[in-house]
Amino acid sequence: MRTLDDLLAEGVAGRRVLVRADLNVPLDGPEITDDGRVRASLPTISRLADAGARVVVAAHLGRPKGAPEARYSLAPVARRLGELLDRPVALAEDVTGPSARETVAGLADGGVALLENVRFDARETSKDAEERSALAEEFAALADVFVSDGFGVVHRKQASVYDVASKLPAYAGGLVLAEVEVLRQLTGEPKRPYVVALGGSKVSDKLAVIESLLPRVDTLLVGGGMCFTFLAAEGLGVGDSLLEAEMIDTCKRLLAEHPGKILLPADVVIADDFSAAANTQTVLAAQIREGWKGLDIGPITVERYGEVLRGAGTVFWNGPMGVFELAPFADGTRGVAQAIVDSDAFSVVGGGDSAAAVRLLGLPEDGFSHISTGGGASLEFLEGKDLPGVSVLEG
């Protein structure tokens, strides 16, 4: 796999470099609420621009339906990227059309341009390889080389991620390279005990990674909405908590096949409404009443999970322990995250909501060994799946 270092050694001054970044940030109207992914893209873009490249950044935002939608414009991202780079970032008004061509043509050495949301073109995510290839040709016409630096999208076979890498000399950006190297440590010979903390809403969303990880980990800590399906599998009532009834038998099987390895909440924070103003109680996991729903793990569980995490050699955490966005249900996620920070483990935060929680709850980002920018990509890597955007770079 050729890397950014290899490209810089060849020389990039005056060359047009297409960088596929992951700038899919959360927005509140026109305001970015978490710029973590923008910040993560800075090192590769800065190194290229500082070396005199004409940097053309491609990225997506949200899930537009293959046509321009004002609410998914990358305009707020262009502004923030420019602020963080401390240099102007020109935003094209289209993906590969007249504005894109004009914007790229106007770049000076060291200049940076951002193409409009690549998903405004339906060919970007098309299942038809010929359609994606046609768009990739248009991307290639805007550049001389390609740098893949959007780890959060490398599990997608999309035009700006996969197809364009066969149209131009392709290199792995610093972020993609770092992510792959870190995740390979987890799939190799991790220092033990190897502890995984998984949260999130549904067992079905995490089943593949659970199946893959259980034979390799020492302990799996379960939180988030999916813990209630596991509790139901143990015969407990879960009130109005989130429940995937069709997954109960699967959870029973997992518990039986891996006795003592899966830890479930001993207590939970319950509420009579999904609201920060709801009435709340902390009860044992066996005492969830009808009409109430579990929205966080409780303090006994936080202490129990924390003890396991503080003694770990390696930790992978993906998914919040509760509805951390609402203050009454944030303590579980905060407690588990703090225990990881306090440990001496090699610790990886698996992107997505977990990475957002670290920043929202004010936890020190440098307290973790690595915070991934790609939740879905990191999970698929750990499942052993092929990541098209990585394999195409490996030739």
Residue 42 identity: L
Q: Binding site annotation covers 22?
A: yes
Q: Binding site annotation covers 205?
A: no
Residue among 214, 267, 271, 213 nearest 242 (CA):
271
| Cα 365 versus chain centre, distance | 15
Tokens of 281: 């109680």
**SS3 assignment for the chain:** CCEHHHHHHHCCCCCEEEEECCCCCCEECCEECCCHHHHHHHHHHHHHHHCCCEEEEECCCCCCCCCCCHHHCCHHHHHHHHHHHCCCEEECCCCCCHHHHHHHHCCCCCCEEECCCHHHCHHHHCCCHHHHHHHHHHHHCCCCEEEECCHHHCCCCCCCCCHHHHCCCEEECHHHHHHHHHHHHHHCCCCCCEEEEECCCCHHHHHHHHHHHCCCCCEEEECCCCHHHHHHHCCCCCCCCCCCHHHHHHHHHHHHHCCCCEECCCEEEEECCCCCCCCEEEEEHHHCCCCCEEEEECHHHHHHHHHHHHCCCEEEEECCCCCCCCHHHCHHHHHHHHHHHHCCCEEEECCHHHHHHHHHCCCCHHHCCEECCCHHHHHHHHHCCCCHHHHHHHC
Which residue is catalytic, options 202, 252, 261, 304?
202
Q: Binding site annotation covers 117?
A: no
Q: Binding site annotation covers 24?
A: yes
Q: Binding site annotation covers 325?
A: yes
Q: Binding site annotation covers 61?
A: yes
Active-site residue, 352 included: yes
Q: Binding site annotation covers 352?
A: yes
Q: Are 267 and 297 in contact (CB under 8 A)?
A: yes
Q: Binding site annotation covers 192?
A: no
Residues 392, 161: Cα–Cα separation, whole Å: 9
**Strand 370-371 vs strand 262-263: parallel, antiparallel, or unpaired?**
unpaired
Which residue is catalytic, options 352, 374, 375, 389?
352
Q: Binding site annotation covers 294?
A: yes
Q: Binding site annotation covers 298?
A: no
Which residue is catalytic, options 15, 37, 157, 293?
37
Which residue is catalytic, options 66, 359, 376, 385?
376
Residue list, annotated binding site for (2R)-3-phosphoglycerate: 37, 119, 156
Residue list, annotated binding site for substrate: 22-24, 37, 60-63, 119, 156
Residue list, annotated binding site: 22-24, 37, 60-63, 119, 156, 206, 294, 325, 351-354
Catalytic residues: 37, 202, 352, 376
Residue list, annotated binding site for ATP: 206, 294, 325, 351-354
